[in-house]
Amino acid sequence: MRQCLCGHLNRSDRLKLIATMAMLTVQVMPTLVQAQPGEYRFSDGPEWCAATASQEGCGVSAAETGIGFNAQLTSDEPEGTVRSGASAGILHADWPAALVNFCAGSTRCADWFISSPRSLYPVAQRAPGASDSSKFDEGSKPTSGIVVRTLRPVDSDHNFFYKNKLEFSLESGWLPINIPFVFDVFLGDGYTMTDLKYTLAPIIASVRWQTGDVKGPLILRGNWDLEASAAAVVIPRGPETRYFAFILGFRRNFVPGRGRFAPYFDGRLGLGEINAKEPLGVLYAQGQNFTFTMNMGSGVRYNISPRYAIWSGLNWMHISNLYLSQPQFANYGINVYGPMFGIDARVGRLRLHHHAAE
């Protein structure tokens, strides 16, 4: 709030705002204390004050501030009604709502309220070239000159998953469980394992690009990420000691209708370099330095906010040289899985999404 009012308003606008807040305190607060909490009437011009039978609450000049207030309650109109001109509506009696209407007419800070996560009130905007007589009437649609932009709730999935969202991800894990190569069935092998066991501790930095908005039926509802990753892998158990790789892949986010949890599945392929020890005489170790890698994982992501998310799951990692070392050295490969944990951060300016109705 301070950024909008102090950084963008000139001296005249600041004086108007101070006068408005002082009059609101004197006129609105006493009634709110005695009445049911939560509502007051507002108008965006002097017409409403002139049309009402009582002039109470019209001490703030709309010509000076752009806002007219009347603190008397009403019970014959539904909550959330928004009108302009001679009609009035009801909004929750919250100071940010009053300031939103004050700043809505100023191009210097209207965008701040629309994009601020703290401002989730409906804001009526007049389209360029529209007539001043355009208004909302109860029971009718807005005229073509009015565009209503309503911010989605902060926990809406459209604020977490949407087209062209770019994220940076940092993940790490511990993969101590050795298993046969999961695709041996396609290679004619018998799911055999050697006596040499490995443990991998990968640290992976990724950039993820969401390629589309959330869509799809039932449990398949979600969107896709494309991933580019750089991996540094420590090998605490095994003859080799380290592995570096560049990996490309995808992630499918399964997004439910509401809530901050979203299951995922991802798959990645890459190439890398390991300090192979089989050429040095270690049985069942890796046959050459240049290798390929394959990763598959699944888990659950929790969206802390539109900018940050954390996730955890299980990840399987395979490293081998695709038989390039044969016949001189055998290709035994590494196949391990275990838990992975990560944090995602949105890259670029944070902006809550909104929908528009014309």
pLDDT in tens, 8-27: 567 777 777 787 777 766 66
Domains and CATH numbers, the chain: 2-151 (no CATH), 158-346 (2.40.160.20)
pLDDT in tens, 135-192: 445 555 554 454 555 555 555 778 899 999 999 999 999 999 999 998 887 776 777 8
Taking the C-alpha atoms of residue 71 and residue 39, their distance in angstroms, rounded to an integer, is 8
pLDDT at residue number 139: 53
pLDDT at residue number 157: 77
pLDDT at residue number 349: 77
- Look at 118 and 307; give whichever has higher pLDDT: 307
**In the predicted model, is pLDDT for residue 79 greater than 90?**
no
| Confidence bin at 97 (pLDDT 50/70/90) | low
